[in-house]
Chain A
């Protein structure tokens, strides 16, 4: 392990953390499976719809608004990815960096205003 860089080591630690979560959950579920009852009946396994017999499929079509908001999210999240490295080096870039990022954010703000005017931001 000594040949590994600090960077990769950190990610290995992260992997151990993920593994620990899965193992902990698995262990507790295993303990639970030793002491919990299992008596499935037809009614118990029905989909729960407030006590009424379920109607139709549970997997219904969803509205397009979720899709539009997801698209908007991707646009702004990518923007954020670009702003972060800039933010750490702002003092070096000075007024030049400020103007450049002003343009960048301005264009994205225009996009938000456009979506706003189009009425996309209304959740109806």
Chain B
């Protein structure tokens, strides 16, 4: 990221810039997702206008909401375990921040460039389970505990298909570095045709579908929203939360949706890149510097597309039953994703 500026920036300055970039990369998608999809798209799908008063077309509604939540009383129930109760939303929020650290936004615009980036992303993304379990347990509320346990059961059940779906991508890209996966897709070709690159959306379509279903469940969006089913569990692990701590869960939910969408676009849609054949690039070093500006815009566009699909499904599906959810994960998604690995690896070795 710093090479763009062509300046010698001291380490603490670089880190500060990275952290500020990370905060933007978490909060900007979250805000946009909440306004565009949760406020406006959901309203239009339900034949209403949504917020219209604050700002033009209600665009300042978010500011008003944050202002409102800041003023709410912070209630910790008498029976709750106060320390864990207060920590839980911070853990959920922190897992989102740790997750965004691995997403590459351009040839030089990255925060961390791990060789095992996929490993890191999958490992960190499961940290939020910990926060949710903490919240469910510390609330000392039957609904919360049930919601927290359901959430844990669901998140671990759908983490497996998610992990296994990524392996198809790894086999094709031959690397676990997210930056290299982007390069492999954009420098790749399908049967000698390089005009599109090789976005794994096409060659790993099964993996992509499994991954999308799994992140829908990981984000606990309908039809996979039993952990926070308001009609059965009165919001599950969030029941006892109020005021700003509730808002932190809420921000965490949509920020994580954004970051998961970013990771999906890196793994399956070619990430920040355009097909390298268009400009005659061959590897990451030959990519022009202006991609560091255009890359984040491309990433943002792809993120919005993926979140659109997630929200579209969310707003138009009824809720699964808990047993159907587990059956679907263990008896359909995991066998299918294992089959996908087998077929991909056979193709890789034979062809």
Please report A residues at the B interface, Cβ cutoff 8 Å. Answer: 1, 6-7, 10-14, 16-18, 20-22, 24-26, 28-29, 31-33, 35-40, 44-50, 54, 57-60, 62, 65-66, 69-70, 72-73, 76-77, 80, 83-84, 87-91, 94-95, 97-98, 101-102, 105, 109, 112, 116, 121-124
Partner among B79, B112, B176 whose Cβ is within 8 Å of the Cβ of A13: B112
Contacts of A122 on B, CB cut-off 8 Å? 323, 327
Q: Is the CB of A58 within 8 A of B349?
A: no
Q: Closest chain A residue to B97 by CB distance?
A: A21
Q: Which of A18, A76, A121 has its CB near the most chain B CB atoms (within 10 A)?
A: A76
Bits for B57-84, please: 1 = Cβ < 8 Å to A, else 0.
Answer: 0000000000001111111111110000
Q: Which of the residues B74, B79, B100, B142 comes within 8 Å of A36, measured between beta carbons?
A: B74
Residues of B within 8 A of A124 (CB): 323
Q: Is B94 an interface residue (CB 8 A)?
A: yes
CA A115 to CA B80, docked complex, whole Å:
37
Interface flags for B142-170 (1: CB within 8 Å of A; 0: not) read 11110001001100110110011001001
Q: 9 shortest A-B CB distances, which residue pairs? A: A58-B140, A21-B97, A123-B323, A21-B94, A10-B112, A45-B78, A87-B170, A123-B326, A1-B11
Chain B interface (Cβ < 8 Å from any Cβ of A): 11, 15, 18-19, 22-23, 69-80, 89-90, 93-94, 96-98, 100-101, 111-116, 118-119, 137, 139-145, 149, 152-153, 156-157, 159-160, 163-164, 167, 170-171, 174-176, 234, 239-240, 243-245, 248, 322-323, 325-327, 330-331, 334-335, 338, 341-342, 345-346, 348-349
Assess whether A84 is in contact with B349, with CB atoms less than 8 Å apart.
no
Query: How far is B246's CA from A32's CA once the two chains are assembled, in angstroms?
Result: 13
| Chain A nearest Cβ from B258, distance in angstroms | 15
The answer on a CB contact under 8 Å between A17 and B19 is yes
- Tell whether, in the assembled complex, residue A59 and residue B140 are in contact, meaning their CB atoms are under 8 Å apart: yes
Cβ 8 A contact of A18, one of B23, B97, B144: B97
Shortest CB-to-CB span from B62 to chain A, Å, is: 14
Given A21-B90, A28-B70, A123-B322, are A109 and B142 also a contact pair (CB < 8 Å)?
no
Can you offer 22 A-B residue contacts whose CB atoms are under 8 A?
Answer: A13-B111, A16-B19, A17-B18, A21-B97, A24-B93, A25-B248, A29-B244, A36-B73, A45-B75, A47-B77, A47-B80, A48-B240, A49-B141, A49-B142, A54-B79, A59-B140, A62-B145, A70-B156, A73-B156, A83-B164, A87-B171, A123-B327
B349 and A116 contacting across the interface, CB-CB below 8 Å: no
User: Chain B residues with Cβ under 8 A from A38's Cβ?
Assistant: 73-74
Which residues from A are CB-within-8-Å of B97?
17-18, 20-21
Residues on B with beta carbons closer than 8 Å to the beta carbon of A62: 145, 149
What's the least CB distance linking A111 to chain B, in Å? 11
Cβ distance B31 to chain A, nearest Cβ, rounded Å:
14
